[in-house]
């Protein structure tokens, strides 16, 4: 999804926008290659959204200026194909992206990858970075989800996570993509640094080993900007808090954390004022402030039974002396740091005496 841009931040310097969104993105990518220089001048654009670079319906391509500069690469779009510009028609998902890039001849270390599929961008980034080492990546984020470091709201991975009543697709509301915090965590864990932001639109990542300056702190990226009308309750129920999921939480725990954050955001619009960034009418007309979470004050919070007891712990007899006995109970490692007697019930079976009588203690 492309919008007009207002402000671009690159490595600490703020510039006012002079031109179209495309110009801004091109400009920031160009500035980065002035610092790290180019190698194969190969780009990949996931979510091209047009049939050609000149398509009047096109909303702006991140690779057009590079193409005019003589770069070449791969374009993928769900609806269009065009051999002249190596544009392939495919629906990119977290599950197929690496195989698709391999099949279509992407080098291991392309200079630039642009991700803009309005939905599962976060998971596509995660999978790409498990295998490829692009030098620069731009990825769309959802600035409506700006919530400081209090949550890491994220779109569901629609290939894997059941969607309930949500269609799992962009519907011209603020339900799309993932928060800057979720993307920041995935990028950092993979060895990338956030060096630029096109507010309300894209984060710009560079391989940390190539970038000679400090990155942009997370706090500078998580201000909430309302850019789209309110999302539906059905869509909201499909969101997760990616930090909970990434730490090993279940889908239910990640949905639960997201629901709690969404209700908080819906109930306290005045406590955390935000900007109706692009004059979105829905936002401006919603007198209490931003509109994105307007209908979510009573979003159901799922109940999750997350910590279950091990069905059988490994018990080893250590010693028996007359009527006294000792044994060692080996709990699975996962339970050790949340040991809670309330679910720890013993059932002990003891063979007593030469007659072989068995007594059981529950
Ligand atoms: C981050 O925000 C702080 C406070 O607004 C500002 O002083 C600083 O220059 C920003 N840093 C970067 C790298 O943008
Ligand atoms: C294919 O792309 C080229 C370059 O953008 C363009 O000139 C041409 O019209 C496109 N072809 C179709 C069928 O859209």
Ligand 1 lined by 9 (C-beta under 6 Å): yes
Nearest 5°: the CA angle 27, 31, 36 is 145
User: Domain with 83 in it: what CATH number?
Assistant: 3.40.50
Asked whether the beta carbons of 154 and 122 are under 8 A apart, the reply is yes
Same domain, residue pair 339 and 191? no
Ligand 2 lined by 82 (C-beta under 6 Å): yes
pLDDT tens track for 16-27: 333 334 447 778
Ligand 1 lined by 213 (C-beta under 6 Å): no
Q: Rounded distance, CA 290 to CA 286, Å? A: 7
Same domain, residue pair 47 and 148? yes
By most ligand atoms within 8 Å of CB, the mutation choice from 65, 68, 80, 82 for ligand 2 is: 82
Q: Is the pLDDT of residue 340 over 50?
A: no
Same domain, residue pair 273 and 320? no
Q: Can you tell me which atom of ligand 1 is nearest the CA of 11?
A: 13
Ligand number nearest CA of 84 is 2
Ligand 2 lined by 54 (C-beta under 6 Å): yes
By most ligand atoms within 8 Å of CB, the mutation choice from 45, 48, 51 for ligand 2 is: 51
Supply φ then ψ for residue 24, to 5 degrees: -65, -45
Same domain, residue pair 222 and 336? no
Note whether residue 304 is domain-resident.
Answer: no
Q: In terms of pTM, does the model score above 0.85?
A: no
Note whether residue 295 is domain-resident.
Answer: no
Q: Rounded distance, CA 243 to CA 250, Å? A: 11
CA of 67 to the centre of ligand 2 (A): 13
Compute the Cα dihedral for 49, 53, 59, 63 and give only its sign. Answer: positive
Same domain, residue pair 140 and 195? yes
Domain limit, last residue, from 286, 301, 331: 286
Same domain, residue pair 107 and 206? yes
Note whether residue 25 is domain-resident.
Answer: yes
Ligand 2 lined by 270 (C-beta under 6 Å): no
pLDDT of residue 346: 53
pLDDT of residue 7: 45
Ligand 2 lined by 136 (C-beta under 6 Å): no
Cβ atoms within 10 Å of 352's Cβ, excluding its own: 10
Residue owning the nearest CA to atom 14 of ligand 1: 12
pLDDT tens track for 33-61: 999 999 999 999 999 989 999 886 666 78
Supply φ then ψ for residue 290, to 5 degrees: -70, 150
Note whether residue 303 is domain-resident.
Answer: no
**Rounded average pLDDT over 156-168:** 96
Q: Is the pLDDT of residue 226 over 90?
A: no
Same domain, residue pair 244 and 324? no
Note whether residue 138 is domain-resident.
Answer: yes
Q: Rounded distance, CA 300 to CA 208, Å? A: 40
* 330: containing domain: 315-360
Count up the domains in the chain and report the number: 2
CA of 82 to the centre of ligand 2 (A): 6
pLDDT of residue 51: 93
Same domain, residue pair 163 and 233? yes
């Amino acid at each position: 999804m492309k919008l007009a841009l207002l402000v671009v931040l690159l490595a600490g310097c703020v510039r006012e926008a002079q031109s179209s969104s495309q110009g801004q993105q091109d400009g920031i990518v160009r500035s980065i290659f002035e610092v790290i220089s180019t190698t194969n001048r190969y780009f990949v654009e996931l979510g091209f959204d047009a049939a050609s670079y000149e398509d009047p319906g096109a909303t702006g391509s991140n690779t057009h200026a590079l193409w005019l500069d003589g770069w070449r690469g791969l374009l993928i779009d769900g609806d269009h194909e065009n051999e002249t510009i190596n544009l392939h028609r495919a629906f990119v998902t977290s599950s197929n992206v690496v195989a698709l890039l391999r099949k279509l001849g992407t080098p291991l270390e392309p200079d630039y990858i642009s991700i803009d599929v309005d939905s599962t961008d976060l998971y596509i980034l995660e999978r790409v970075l498990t295998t490829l080492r692009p030098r620069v990546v731009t990825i769309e984020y959802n600035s409506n989800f700006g919530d400081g470091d209090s949550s890491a709201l994220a779109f569901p991975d629609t290939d894997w996570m059941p969607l309930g009543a949500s269609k799992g697709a962009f519907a011209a509301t603020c339900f799309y993509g993932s928060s800057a915090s979720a993307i920041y965590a995935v990028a950092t864990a993979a060895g990338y640094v956030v060096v630029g932001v096109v507010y309300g639109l894209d984060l710009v990542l560079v391989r940390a080993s190539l970038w000679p300056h400090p990155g942009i702190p997370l706090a500078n990226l998580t201000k909430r900007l309302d850019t789209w009308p309110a999302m539906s309750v059905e869509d909201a129920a499909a969101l997760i808090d990616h930090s909970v999921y990434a730490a090993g939480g279940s889908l239910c725990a990640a949905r639960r954390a997201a629901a709690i954050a969404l209700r908080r955001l819906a109930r306290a619009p005045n406590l955390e004022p935000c900007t109706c960034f692009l004059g979105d009418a829905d936002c401006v007309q919603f007198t209490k402030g931003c509109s994105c979470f307007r209908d979510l004050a009573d979003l159901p919070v799922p109940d999750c039974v997350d910590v279950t007891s091990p069905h059988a712990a490994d018990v080893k007899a250590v010693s028996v002396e007359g009527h006294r006995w000792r044994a060692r109970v080996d709990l699975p490692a996962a339970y050790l740091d949340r040991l809670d007697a309330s679910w720890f019930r013993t059932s002990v079976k003891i063979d007593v005496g030469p007659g072989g009588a068995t007594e059981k203690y529950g």
